[in-house]
Amino acid sequence: MRLIEKVDRNFRWKYVLGVGAVILLAGVSAASYSRQGAVSKNKVFKGSLGQSAQAKVKESLGKLPLAFEANKGQTDPSIQFVARAAGYTAFVASDGVVMRMKGAKEGVVAMKLQNAKLANKGATSDQQPGKSNYFRGSDRSKWIANISHYGKVTYEEAYPGVDLAYSGNQRNLEYDFVVKPGVDPQQIRMQYLGATRTALTASGDLELVTDAGSTIVHKPVVYQTIKGQRKSVEGGYVMVASNEYAFKLGAYDASKTLVIDPMVTALAYLGGTGDDQGLAIAVNTQGEFLTGETSSVDFPLSREPVFFRAQCKALPTRR
């Protein structure tokens, strides 16, 4: 919990992104502003062309890889790498990761590795385009510039015989545990801190509830590569202490490398790739009912226990 408090206390100052990132964000903002203006003047633009273009932009941005940057003084010294996404910021240290979610309110959760190798230093790979720059105050000697971006950070021997690699995109954070032959994966212990509620769902996911919303740690994908073929291994979570989880695994070949791949969705939104707007919500014993409008062709029209009635203006009366 101390790591969360330190990040939350110290990471309050403004930052300026690299020229490439600024141009990208400005372009997206300008496109959004222009589209809104065009809609008010020309109803035809509200048709398939505008919606399709926006959906493609949102989908493309969501798939952009995370850009991990080394901590050069832009955040707390206990943090080694920072990665900023559309809906969250990840702060990576040798013993875990802190995620700050950007919902209606701010939410912070941490995945802390119990008994991990604290002296370990992460190694970067998959260099990405662009640089980050931080300009604070008028003293140029305190400015931080030209920080490179990388798509992956790997901690070798996070546990004896276990490497840990972080990667992801604008929606999801992945951390892969690579267990070497003959090594016991049960030494891996993950404690989740900062959530107001932690629950193991019927589908095998971990749901972490914060003030920003629900963060989902998906059921891990576990596999081995044998004779060039990927072979799936049954896997899931098992609680071993308060908010602390290990992996439960099915049968596998202990003489071969084992990969355990959890993925975190920073915020579990209800929506699709187009424009979604919720107007009202009600709850009864049968579930939750939301009314509003959507242009998303992939919006889930029914997803237990939530039902969405597109293009409705008022809730139906239930007696």
pLDDT of residue 191 exceeding 70, the answer is: yes
Q: Could you tell me if 121 and 261 lie in one domain?
A: yes
Model confidence band, residue 267 (pLDDT cutoffs 50, 70, 90): confident
With respect to residue 23, please indicate whether it lies within any of the assigned structural domains: no
3-state DSSP helix/strand/coil % of the chain, to nearest 5: 20, 45, 35
Are residues 200 and 302 located together in one domain of the fold?
Answer: no
Evaluate if residue 308 carries a pLDDT over 70.
no
228 in any annotated domain:
yes
Q: Tens digits of per-residue pLDDT, 30-77?
A: 444 343 444 343 443 344 445 555 555 555 555 678 899 999 999 999
Show the tokens assigned to 221.
């994908």
- Same domain for 163 and 304, yes or no, is no
What does the alpha-carbon distance between residue 68 and residue 130 come to, in Å, rounded to a whole number? 11
Output the pLDDT for position 275. 55
Note the pLDDT tens digit of each residue in 199-220: 999 999 999 998 888 999 999 9
Both 198 and 302 in one domain: the answer is: no
Confidence label for 313 from pLDDT (cuts 50, 70 and 90)? very low
The pLDDT, as a whole number, for residue 122 is 94
Confidence of residue 23 (pLDDT cuts 50, 70, 90): very low
Domain count for the chain, please give it.
2
Q: Are 93 and 2 contacting, i.e. CB atoms less than 8 angstroms apart?
A: no
**What distance in Å separates the CA atoms of residue 109 and residue 240, rounded to the nearest whole number?**
19
Count of CB atoms within 10 A of residue 291's CB?
Answer: 20
Q: Are residues 107 and 255 located together in one domain of the fold?
A: yes
Q: How many CB atoms lie under 10 A from the CB of residue 212?
A: 21
Q: How many CB atoms neighbour CB 198 within 10 A?
A: 20
Residue 104, pLDDT score: 73
Question: 249 and 116: one domain?
Answer: yes
281/239 same-domain check: no
Residue 29 has φ and ψ, to the nearest 5°, of -65, -45
**At residue 245, what is the residue type?**
Y
Global pTM value:
0.68
Which domain range does residue 232 map to? 90-126+151-265
In this predicted structure, the answer to whether residue 254 has a pLDDT above a threshold of 50 is yes
Residue 19 confidence (pLDDT) above 80: no
User: Looking at residue 171, what is its pLDDT?
Assistant: 85
Distance separating the N- and C-terminal Cα atoms of the chain: 47
Average pLDDT, the chain: 76
User: Could you report the per-residue pLDDT of 105-118, keeping only the tens digit for each?
Assistant: 889 999 999 999 88
Q: Are 106 and 99 in contact (CB under 8 A)?
A: no
- Per-residue model confidence as pLDDT tens digits over 131-157: 999 998 899 999 999 999 999 999 999
When mean pLDDT is compared across 59-63, 260-264, 271-275, the lowest value belongs to: 271-275
**In a shared domain, residues 158 and 180:** yes
Same domain, yes or no, for 250 and 223? yes
Residues 6+ apart with CB under 8 A from 224: 230, 231, 233, 252, 253, 256, 257, 258, 259
What pLDDT sits at residue 44? 39
Residue among 198, 5, 191, 219 nearest 100 (CA): 5
User: Do 231 and 97 reside in the same domain of the chain?
Assistant: yes
Look at the alpha carbons of 294, 297, 299, 303 in this order and tell me if their dihedral is positive or negative: positive
Asked whether residue 112 falls in the same domain as residue 243, the answer is: yes
Task: Give me the pLDDT at residue 317, please.
Answer: 38
What DSSP string describes 107-125?
A: EEEEEEETT--TT---EEE
What's phi and psi for 79, nearest 5 deg?
-90, 135
Q: Cβ(262)–Cβ(18) under 8 Å?
A: no
Closest CA to 108 of 91, 94, 127: 91
239 and 291 inside one domain:
no
Q: Which residue has the higher pLDDT, 277 or 102?
A: 102
Residue 97 and residue 77: Cα distance in Å, rounded?
A: 14
Q: What is the pLDDT of residue 120?
A: 82
